[in-house]
Amino acid sequence: MIDAADVEAIERATIAALPPEAVIEIGGWLVALGAGAARRSKSAVPLSHELAADAAALDAIEAAYAERGLTPGFRICDGPGLDGVRAALADRGYRPEQPTLVKVGDVAGMRQVCGGEPAEVIASPDESWKAVFLGPGFDPADGASRIDLLTRSGENRFGAVRDAAGAALAVGVASFGDGWASVHGMRTAAAHRGQGLAGRVLAGLAQSAEDRGLTRVFLQVEEPNAPARSLYRRAGFRPAWRYFYWSKPPGQGA
């Protein structure tokens, strides 16, 4: 079961895994003030799924982004406890997009999805690891931005499955904080998909979590990404909640 304390812990751990330039708290909101590619690192998120709309808090959040020359954005669970918040954002011209699932599981289940040798896990990504993020089929600018975010936290660990020559074929990241392990940045080189490599990455990251005495794990996956959702289902992950990013349409202004 996910309770209110878990919601707050997961949201704090999410930001800590991909830390933006600044984070502030305003009226029950965690406000990530970043400019990178990852929307989680540049959106405001409520720390509770039971939060009333507060015009003063929303004004202050918008002002915090404006002061830094950033575009305001929000990340909102679609549960009933935030109906008022969503209505208030809609009144301000924000619209929901990019439905994303937060899924939770246990580290032991994640470990067992592996059909081969678990991935190696290193403290910082080498050039071969980075090459998967920057390789064919991925946006290199987006990849470079995410690498920068993921390497800001000294607590993150980087998993890689390699070929005989040492080149990374599939990669992922584990972060640890607020009593949870979390999985981020799962990518497999285009030419090596469908070989079970992502499962091996999950197994290596699970071992890293077990070494720290952690038993619970979460991740986030875009709802339309059926292959990833299938993998995570086999690894024992189950849906905790769904959220949407809320932003203003281009040209509407902040």
Please provide the DSSP assignment of 227-250 as one string: HHHHHHHHTT-EEEEEEEEEEPPT
Using CA atoms, how far apart are residues 217 and 107, in angstroms rounded to an integer?
A: 6
Position 253 confidence tier, pLDDT thresholds 50, 70, 90: low
- Compute the average pLDDT of residues 156-172: 97
pLDDT reported for residue 36: 85
| Closest alpha carbon to 25 in 52, 45, 10, 49 | 45
pLDDT reported for residue 154: 86
pLDDT digits (tens, 9 = 90+) for 170-207: 999 999 999 999 999 999 999 999 999 999 999 999 99
Q: Output phi, psi for 115, to 5 deg.
A: -105, 10
Q: pTM (2 decimals)?
A: 0.95
pLDDT reported for residue 135: 87
DSSP conformational letter for 136: T
CATH superfamily of 104-241: Gcn5-related N-acetyltransferase (GNAT) (3.40.630.30)
pLDDT digits (tens, 9 = 90+) for 67-117: 999 999 999 999 999 999 999 999 999 999 999 999 999 999 998 888 789
Contacts of 194 by beta carbon, 8 Å cutoff, 6+ apart? none
| Closest alpha carbon to 23 in 11, 32, 12, 34 | 32
| Closest alpha carbon to 150 in 228, 38, 229 | 38
For 7-70, what is the HEC assignment?
HHHHHHHHHHHCCCCEEEEECCEEEEECCCCCHHHHCEEECCCCCCCCHHHHHHHHHHHHHCCC
3 state SS of 102: strand
Question: Is residue 216 over pLDDT 80?
Answer: yes
pLDDT digits (tens, 9 = 90+) for 1-55: 799 999 999 999 999 999 999 999 999 999 999 998 899 999 999 999 999 999 9
